[in-house]
């Protein structure tokens, strides 16, 4: 094997090691170390690289493709969190729950574009017509606009925090989990559907608060270190917030759906915490590449719907719309008989 191919194979080996670190990421609490979390963030890129290496070696030197085959096989379970392989199911009656981070609409619903974007938002909600809408990052100065957009829905809470739930189903109980901050919090409602009760949480966890990259190489390196430090700091906060949500949800006498902007990925420790108790609706019923945040990074899924085993996940869809920097997710559930 010539020097060029040896170098390429060395890169393949290095990426294989990075991939193993990424596979370990969901199992290591960031309070212990943030080292593995860094590689977890890069999982979609590592996956694409291994596919490229696989194709390359199959053409050039097939025996060398074994490494990428092994890595991809070991990561199959992780791949199902990034790519949905489910086929459409037959139509069944159920409760449709939308989750949507609308933070970017602060710009779109202000100024010259406000009227057209507001009308587009109204049309979008009417077309989808979900039973329950879980919002994150409401702007306090746009509550009058929300009243028009979500006309016909019951709101909780009114004007206290950034998260909110709009519902067409009657509310029998409600509350908030503030995390001692107005920006990141959770709100919940118990709603009546036919003769049964369902609890729904709208969640917005701590954001990584990172800046955009510079085009200067030195500044890019400095900012990369800043981003990694920020990510681990807020990963620890998110672990504590998830513990609080899970403890609260455990007190519910009813089946639970926890949905919202978790500001973290399927390769994260908090995702592992959630899936020990609840199923990921995307894994159950999603299809295609799981991407809920608009960025050049492929497969950046940070918005989730976690569903208790007392419920059936009938449908899960990531809706493509340009109304915010997140894509809304729509999940349909019904009760187990």
For residue range 292-311, list pLDDT tens digits in order: 998 887 788 999 999 999 99
Is the bond into 157 cis (omega within 30 degrees of 0)?
yes
- Alpha carbons within 13 angstroms on the beta-carbon side of residue 186 total 26
Residues 96-119, mean pLDDT to the nearest whole number? 87
* Maximum C-alpha span of the chain: 71
The CA distances from residue 310 to 83, 198, 199, 333, in Å, are 25, 10, 12, 10
Residue 217 is predicted with a pLDDT of 43
Q: How far apart are CA 282 and CA 329, in angstroms?
A: 9
Buried residues in 134-164 as b, exposed as e (16+ CB within 10 A): bbbbbbeebeebbeebbeebbbbeeeebbbb
Q: What is the pLDDT of residues 157-176, one digit of tens each?
A: 877 788 999 999 999 999 99
The answer to whether residue 211 scores a pLDDT higher than 50 is no
User: Do the strands 95-101 and 132-136 form a parallel or antiparallel pair, or are they unpaired?
Assistant: parallel
User: Based on C-alpha coordinates, what's the Rg of the chain?
Assistant: 21
Handedness of CA 9, 10, 14, 16 (dihedral sign): positive
- 132 φ, ψ to 5°? -135, 135
Q: What is the pLDDT of residues 40-77, one digit of tens each?
A: 988 988 999 999 999 999 999 999 999 999 999 999 88
Cβ atoms of 215 and 204 within 8 Å: the answer is no
Q: What is the pLDDT of residues 8-49, one digit of tens each?
A: 999 999 999 999 999 999 999 999 998 898 899 889 889 999
Stated length of the chain: 337
Q: Which range is least confidently modeled, 77-81, 106-110, 163-167?
A: 106-110
Q: For residue 61, count other CB atoms closer than 10 A to its CB.
A: 13
Q: How far apart are CA 202 and CA 38, in angstroms?
A: 27
Beta bridge partners of 101: 136
Buried residues in 199-232 as b, exposed as e (16+ CB within 10 A): bbbbbbbbbbeeeeeeeeeeeeeebeeebbebbb
pTM of the model: 0.91
Q: How far apart are CA 127 and CA 129, in angstroms?
A: 6
Beta bridge partners of 139: none
- 154 φ, ψ to 5°? -90, 135
């Amino acid at each position: 094997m010539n020097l060029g191919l040896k170098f390429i194979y060395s890169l393949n080996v290095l990426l294989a090691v990075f991939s193993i670190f990424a596979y370990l990421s969901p199992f290591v609490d960031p309070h212990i170390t943030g080292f593995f979390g860094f590689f977890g963030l890069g999982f979609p890129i590592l996956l694409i690289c291994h596919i490229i290496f696989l194709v390359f070696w199959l053409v050039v030197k097939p025996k060398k493709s074994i490494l990428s085959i092994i890595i991809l096989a070991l990561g199959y379970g992780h791949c199902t969190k990034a790519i949905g392989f489910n086929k459409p199911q037959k139509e069944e009656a159920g409760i449709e729950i939308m989750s949507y981070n609308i933070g970017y609409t602060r710009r779109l619903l202000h100024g010259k574009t406000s009227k057209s974007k507001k009308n587009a938002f109204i049309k979008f909600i009417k077309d989808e017509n979900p039973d329950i809408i879980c919002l994150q990052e409401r702007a306090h100065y746009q509550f009058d606009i929300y009243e028009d957009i979500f006309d016909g829905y019951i709101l909780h809470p009114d004007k206290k925090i950034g998260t909110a739930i709009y519902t067409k189903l009657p509310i029998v109980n409600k509350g908030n989990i503030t995390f001692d901050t107005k920006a990141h919090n959770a709100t919940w409602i118990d709603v009546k559907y036919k003769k049964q009760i369902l609890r729904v949480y709208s969640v917005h966890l701590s954001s990584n608060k990172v800046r955009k990259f510079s085009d200067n190489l030195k500044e890019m390196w400095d900012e990369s270190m800043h981003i990694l430090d920020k990510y681990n700091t807020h990963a620890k906060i998110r672990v504590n917030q998830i513990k609080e949500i899970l403890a609260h949800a455990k007190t519910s006498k009813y089946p639970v759906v926890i949905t919202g902007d978790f500001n973290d990925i399927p390769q994260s420790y908090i995702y592992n915490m959630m899936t020990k108790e609840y199923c990921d609706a995307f894994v159950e019923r999603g299809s295609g590449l799981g991407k809920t945040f608009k960025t050049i990074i492929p497969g950046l899924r940070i918005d989730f719907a976690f569903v208790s085993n007392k419920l059936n996940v009938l449908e899960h869809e990531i809706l493509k719309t340009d109304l915010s920097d997140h894509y809304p997710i729509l999940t349909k559930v019904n009760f187990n008989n």
